[in-house]
Amino acid sequence: MRSFGVMSQLSVFLNEFARDPVATGAVAPSSAWLARQMVVPVPERGDPLVIEVGPGGGAFTRAIRKRLDGRGHHLAVELNPRFAALLTRQFPGLDLAVADALELPELIAERGLGKADAVISGLPWTMFGVDKQRALLGAMAGALATEGAFTTFAYVHARWSPPARRFHERLREAFEEVVVGRTVWRNLPPALVYHARRPR
């Protein structure tokens, strides 16, 4: 059953990349090794609120659910309806909003949720212009509790490209602390995780 899920995820991902590579932003789903690094800030105790933005094929979703183990609340926000359909099949009971991440304030208010303990983003940041990056980061930083954490990732080969450097600047504008994690070599392509805290 698990192998069917992985093949289904890969099939949808490749189809979406072929249909719209810019919006999809990656040639393959994120690995379990990258996912483990992405969810490190999710609290191991209590009933945290975790918001996942751009879950795509569900690699980070799976890791978040494993870490929560039935605790707290996990809200996933996915704009692509085909990925959303895949997520619904893979994760029954997931609170999934088919919406733009810019709608986060409304989505949180509709559900009566408070501030998030962690926001996990799988969005293809370098595909966005500066204004959209600022707006999205503003929405996500605004959704976080004071001591909450934001994580996202970048591909190592593109880290020093102008779009990636501009995104790093936007991160530092939005958060007081931005830490770059170790390279995750067991990902296609290799990636690194940004850990950000204390929204400005």
CATH number assigned to the domain comprising residue 128: 3.40.50.150
What does the pLDDT read at residue 2?
Answer: 42
**What is the rounded distance in angstroms from the CA atom of residue 140 to the CA atom of residue 115?**
10
Identify the residue whose tokens are 């990925």.
83
> How many domains is the chain built from?
1
What tokens were used for 189? Answer: 């392509």
More confident call, 8 vs 198: 198
Q: Does 155 score more than 60 pLDDT?
A: yes
Predicted model pTM: 0.87
String of b and e for 5-29 (b: at least 16 CB within 10 Å)? eeeebeebbeebbeeeeeebbbeeb
pLDDT digits (tens, 9 = 90+) for 83-142: 999 999 999 999 999 999 999 999 999 999 999 999 999 999 999 999 999 999 999 999
Give me the amino acid identity at 171: L
49-53, strands of its sheet edge to edge? 95-97, 73-77, 49-53, 116-121, 144-155, 191-199, 175-180
Residue 159 pLDDT level (bands cut at 50, 70, 90): confident
List, for residues 61-70, the tens digit of each pLDDT value.
999 999 999 9
pLDDT band per the 50, 70, 90 thresholds, residue 17: very low
| pLDDT at 28 (0 to 100) | 67
Q: What is the domain extent for residue 84?
A: 2-199
pLDDT of amino acid 29: 82
